[in-house]
Amino acid sequence: MAPREQIFGVVWPDLNDGLTYSDLVESSKTASTLVEFYSTKHKNSAPLQGWLQRIRNGQVRCSNICEFSYARFGTLQRDVNLFSLQITVGGGVVTDPNTILRAGLELVYHRLPWKEPDAPYLLEVLFEDDDIVALNKPSGLQVLPGGIFQQRTVLTQLQWRESKQSSSSLARKEQHPVPVHRLGRGTSVVADWVLGILLCAKTKVAKARLAAFFADGTSVVGDNRNTIAELGTIRKISKIYRALVNGILGKDEVVIKQPIGMIRYPGVAKGLYVASSSGKPALSKVNVLERDVQGNRTLVQVEIQSGRPHQIRIHLSFIGHPLLGDPLYVNGGHPKSFDSESIDDTFAQDGFSVGEGRSAGQAKRKDAVLTSGDSWPLLINYIIAVIRGYERPMKPVPGDSGYYLHAHRLFLSHPTTDEVIEITAPLPSILQTQGEANQINLGIGNIVK
């Protein structure tokens, strides 16, 4: 067997590939207008005014003007059709928002390519065989596509790696590696190279069994008949984290059973996870490792018996000890602010602000709509977007970094051999105990500086 690479990754291209959304009009939507359909079904993507602009922008085409701008701004090496059709109905271009839809029509919305925020691209392999691969996920790299990160993700790097390997081996054609659990983009944020364990399946069988392991562990938490000790023996996967929290925990061990639900929150289309009495069951076991009274912070180990999104951040903030540096969650397991964000027409342009590059009058008008005469300002907008990137929401969102949380150890039953495997990711120095620090000074152990 050829030796497996320990570090892999491909440099991200300047722009992603954009997105294509396809919908089939159902009979219940017959007689609806095009703008009614999109502003209702995809209201999380843009308000009514935003969809009006997106539809009308479909008439913005680019031929000579694009060729001129590429010659002038040589960094934009993209297809000349970037500024062409945005929305098609039944294969034809439609720019009238009041177009009446009929059952069976296929609607396609083309979201233009944009520059995603900076993100690491190199990944280190901690463990790998023919069924699974465990990675060290660097800080700032999202696991799966979502929001403004559609290309710069762990999944994309896994797919590129597999594509490269498959081209030289027919035997690898059946492998499609995918992450089977999530780590927040900000998990392990001490530096770009601080790492956390991310488990990925390489085959369909491994994916199905690992998914079942995670689901089984989460489901048994809701059964009140199970004790904490029994939960530990039932689970076939156990995840242990290191975290640094605000304040001094009084007890050496705390078990948190707070349910987790969702609320509407600006900048998070599907809603934000928070502590909620009407939410789904969640259980975390927290053990104190060291107390820093002078610094008013506590180093803890957290073992989660369920896998709710942002569970550790929510649970620790719920008991009054949010993660040190967490920009979102505060005491009680809720975000710092609940007030809604004002809605404007920046939804109309994919990945860049509408006002950029337009005249002062146009930039101030909330109801301003791009027409075919706005081609040059639209192109300037796009160039600015390439240089500046995507505008972030005004309020903190789950992907924001700044807190100290590290996926340190993982125990699992192998999905095909049932062998018990332990995987460990090196600790960043700020999350090591004094004893571990002493070992490093003596040349013992493996801690990330």
Residue 218 has a pLDDT of 63
CA 439 to chain CA centroid, Å, is 35
- Residues 272/335, Cβ–Cβ less than 8 Å: yes
In total, the chain counts a number of residues equal to 449
Q: Is it the case that residue 373 has pLDDT exceeding 60?
A: no
Q: At what angle do helices 375-388 and 64-72 cross, to 10 degrees?
A: 40
> Please, which pLDDT band fits residue 71 given cuts at 50, 70 and 90?
very low
d(CA 338, CA 107) in angstroms, rounded, equals: 35
**CA angle (181 as vertex; 178, 183 as ends), nearest 5:** 110
For position 284, what pLDDT does the model report? 95
Please report the pLDDT score of residue 385 as a whole number.
46
Say what percent of the chain tops pLDDT 90. 36
pLDDT at residue 67 above 50?
no
Backbone angles phi, psi at 360, to 5 degrees: -60, -40
Dist CA 20 CA 119 (whole Å): 23
Biggest CA–CA distance in the chain, Å, is 75
The whole-angstrom separation of Cα 342 and Cα 339 is: 9
Supply the pTM of this predicted model. 0.72
Separation of alpha carbons 39 and 52, rounded Å: 9
Is the pLDDT confidence value at 406 over 50?
Answer: yes
- Phi, psi at residue 87, to the nearest 5°? -130, 130
Domain residues of the chain, as ranges? Answer: 19-111, 123-338+398-448
258 vs 386: which has the higher pLDDT: 258
| CA 314 – CA 331 distance, rounded (Å) | 9
Please state, in angstroms and rounded to a whole number, the distance separating the CA atoms of residues 144 and 156: 8
* The two three-digit tokens of residue 406, written as one number: 């590290």
**Distances 328 to 11, 125, 196, 313 between C-alpha atoms, Å:** 30, 31, 20, 9
Reading the block at residue 251, the tokens are: 């007890």
User: What is residue 120's predicted lDDT score, i.e. its pLDDT?
Assistant: 93
Give me the helix-helix angle, 34-41 and 48-56, nearest 10°. 130
Pairing between β-strand 284-292 and β-strand 427-428 as defined by DSSP bridges: unpaired
Residue of higher predicted confidence among 175 and 38 = 38
**Residue in the block written with tokens 């938490």:** 221
Alpha carbon 7 to its chain centroid, in Å, reads 22
- State pLDDT tens for residues 302-346: 999 877 889 999 999 999 999 998 989 999 999 987 543 433 334
Q: Are 9 and 121 in contact (CB under 8 A)?
A: yes
Answer with the residue of higher pLDDT: 3 or 396.
396
Average pLDDT over residues 416-421: 94
* CA 351 centroid distance within chain: 16
pLDDT, position 193? 30
Phi, psi for residue 103 in degrees, rounded to 5: -60, 140
State residue 107's pLDDT score.
86
Between 148-162, 341-355, 405-419, the lowest mean confidence (pLDDT) is in: 341-355
In the predicted structure, residue 365 carries a pLDDT above the cut 80: no
- In terms of DSSP bridges, do strands 197-201 and 237-246 run parallel, antiparallel, or are they unpaired? unpaired
Indicate the range of 113-127, 178-192, 340-354 predicted with least confidence: 340-354
Report the pLDDT value the prediction gives residue 82, as an integer from 0 to 100: 40
Using pLDDT thresholds of 50, 70 and 90, give the confidence band for residue 8.
Answer: very high
Considering the chain, what is the average pLDDT of its residues? 75
Question: Options 3.40.50.300, 3.30.2350.10, 3.90.1410.10, 3.40.50.10880; which CATH number does 123-338+398-448 get?
Answer: 3.30.2350.10
Name the least confident of 116-130, 133-147, 170-184, 299-313: 170-184
Q: Which two tokens stand for residue 28?
A: 């219940």
- 296 against 28, higher pLDDT: 296
pLDDT digits over 257-291, tens only?
999 999 988 777 778 999 999 999 999 999 999 99
Strands 268-275 and 284-292: unpaired
Report residue 163's pLDDT band, with 50, 70 and 90 as the boundaries.
confident
Q: Does the structure show a pLDDT above 80 at 407? A: yes
Which range (48-52, 95-99, 238-242, 384-388) has the least confidence? 384-388
Query: For residue 131, is pLDDT > 90?
Result: yes
% the chain with pLDDT above 70: 66
In whole angstroms, give the CA distance from residue 5 to residue 427: 22
* Cβ neighbours around 66 below 10 Å, total: 21
Q: Which CATH superfamily is domain 19-111 in?
A: RNA-binding S4 domain (3.10.290.10)
User: Sorting pLDDT into bands at 50, 70 and 90, what band is 228?
Assistant: low
* Distance separating alpha carbons of residues 238 and 55, to the nearest angstrom: 48
Whether residue 189 has pLDDT greater than 70: no
pLDDT at position 99 is 86
Q: What is the pLDDT of residue 12?
A: 97
User: What whole-number distance in Å separates Cα of residue 402 and Cα of residue 241?
Assistant: 16
User: Regarding beta strands 427-428 and 447-448, do their DSSP bridges make them parallel or antiparallel, or are they unpaired?
Assistant: parallel
